[in-house]
A = this chain, B = another copy of it.
Amino acid sequence: MNPFRYIDSNMKNLVSDLQLLIRQPSVSAKNEGIEECSKLVKKLLAKSGVKSEILRLKKGVAPLVYGEIKSKSNPARTLLFYNHYDVQPAEPFELWDDPPFSGKVKGNKVFGRGSADDKGELITRIKAVEACLKTTGDVPCNVKFVIEGEEETGSAHIEDYLKKYQKKFSCDGVIWEFGYVDSKDRPIVGLGMKGLLFVELSVTESIRDAHSSLAVLIKNPAWRLIEALKTLRDENGKILIKDWYKDVVPFSKTDLDIISKEPFDEKSLKEEFGVDSFVGNLRGLDAKKALVGGATCNIAGIVSGYTGEGAKTVLPGTALVKIDFRLVPKMDPKKQVMRLKNHLKLKGFSDIDVKVFHGEAAARTDPSDPFVTQVKEAADESYGKSIINVSNAGTGPMFSFADILKSPCISIGSTYMFSRIHSPNEFARIDLLKKTTKCICLIMEKFGRS
């Protein structure tokens, strides 16, 4: 039996192992089930024939699961799979059709928080290695698994892990934790990630909530916050903070060439979210350029006062907003925080407290790297056709991997682009899980031979 046949006949096992992973909640934002999930991942690796260990930094930091298997045929080439076992919070619970940690299968879909991001991706890689081992008794190249537990809160310690275990993790190429499949079932070969700066701004006007009749005299922190927020961004999404875009590197000719070739299903995207137009009325190439290289200032959450049912005439004491800024190459998160703080000060908002949750720089792999060709070929063979993407619109700690391991990083995977990751009713498509498992086998082969 060859690995592909093995994968075809073992999809039931893949799905049930994915269900096991989903049923173990692992919400890093709430430190819920993290230890338990790391142990479960170690167990699944062992079941597939991969020896692993749980690495730790210090108390309070999520453990990292590290797996390794040496190749007898190509011991000189090492491929590293980067994944994460933690998931986003499942709120709002009431919008899920089934419980978020049920792992319910309906037709071609496995539902649940983490089904796609990132437990689905992880299972394809484990099962690809298993398929090689069970059918050939070997892997086509050395394989390393680096599976962290803090990705969804911003990978606060992956850099420390990479620095501490730089030698252990050394490799010649990194397959990124996820990869998207577009609306026409074409996998995206992703060469980059945006950076992220996540902050919380809060303001307190009075030491306690008051009856709202006092609003003639006592200041309202929600109004204060709104006044500050309005200075950050114009209605077309342009960030108004001084020098915010100063360090941004413009697209190269090659970048623009790849972007212009990249298909973009504008209609499907609009339909998925039920919208008529995009931010700033962007369309076509401009919308594509924004996805690849646009910086944002997004309100991820805002809250003040009474938000339950009915009316409550209260004057709240405090208000807070959570903002994520996506960053693009050469924007330094630390510098951008300073710019934000300076802006607030200059605009007279020194009373607004800025708490930085985390900062992450953007990263991109050179499109001319041979690793890009190997992954692209594997994707074309397993899916029919794949697409190169200069940078994903999302964020991951790719900068740290590229910088510390000195390896090219490429994302390729099984996540259907409308899988509702981070949202209610997240799902993974079983047909894509199968194709991606095969694709990972091909990548190992091509990479081992090179």
A299: B residues at CB distance < 8 A: 220, 222-223, 226, 304-305, 316
A339 at the interface (CB under 8 A from B): no
Are B219 and A279 closer than 8 Å at their CB atoms?
yes
Chain B residue with Cβ nearest A420: B208
In angstroms, Cα B215 to Cα A228, docked, is 20
Q: Flag A305-316 by CB within 8 Å of B: 1 or 0 each.
A: 111111111111
- Given A279-B215, A300-B315, A89 and B29 touching (CB < 8 A)? no
A313, B279: Cβ atoms under 8 Å?
no
Contact check, A423 vs B208: say whether CB atoms are below 8 A apart: yes
Q: Given contacts A230-B230, A311-B358, are A393 and B216 in contact (CB under 8 A)?
A: yes
> Is there contact, CB below 8 Å, between A302 and B307?
yes
**Which stretch in A6-14, A77-85, A103-111, A288-296 binds the other chain?**
A288-296
Q: Determine if A395 and B316 form an interchain contact, defined as CB atoms under 8 angstroms apart.
A: no
Determine how close the nearest CB of chain B comes to the CB of A119; give it in whole angstroms: 16
Q: A319-327, A370-378, A406-414, A433-441: which lies at the B interface?
A: A319-327
Q: Tell me, yes or no, whether A275 is within 8 Å of chain B by CB.
A: yes
Contacts known (A217-B269, A273-B218); A305 close to B324, Cβ less than 8 A? no
Are B291 and A216 touching (Cβ within 8 A)?
Answer: yes
Copies in the complex: 2
Interface residues on A, range: 35 or more
Interface positions, chain A 191-230, Cβ under 8 Å from B, are 194, 196, 198, 205-220, 222-223, 226-227, 229-230
Contact A91 B206 (CB under 8 A): no
A423 and B226 form a contact (CB under 8 A):
no
- Which residues of the partner chain B approach A290 to less than 8 Å between Cβ atoms? 216-217
A294 touches B216 (CB 8 A): yes
A331 to B146, CA, bound (A): 66
Q: Which of B153, B205, B233, B301 contacts A305 (CB 8 A)?
A: B301
| Mask: chain A, 145-184; 1 = CB below 8 Å from B; 0 = not | 0000000111000000000000000000000000000000
Rounded to whole angstroms, the CA-CA distance of A299 and B153 in the bound complex is 30
A237 interfacial contact with B, CB 8 Å: yes
B-contact bits for A390-413, CB 8 A (1 contact / 0 none): 001111000000000000000000
Is B273's CB under 8 angstroms from A206's CB? yes
**Residues A311 and B298 in contact, CB atoms below 8 Å apart:** no
Question: With the chains together, A257 CA to B157 CA distance in Å?
Answer: 67
Known pairs A196-B313, A311-B29; A274 contacts B357 (CB<8 A):
no
Known: A213-B393, A213-B394, A216-B326. A300 touches B275 (CB 8 A): no
Chain A residues engaging chain B, CB cutoff 8 angstroms: 28-30, 88-89, 91, 152-154, 194, 196, 198, 205-220, 222-223, 226-227, 229-230, 233, 235, 237, 269, 273-275, 278-279, 282, 287, 290-291, 294, 296-316, 319-322, 324, 326, 357-358, 392-395, 420-424
**Can you list 14 contacts pairing A with B, beta carbon distance less than 8 Å?**
A153-B310, A206-B273, A206-B274, A212-B296, A213-B392, A216-B290, A216-B296, A218-B273, A222-B321, A226-B229, A300-B306, A300-B311, A301-B312, A311-B322
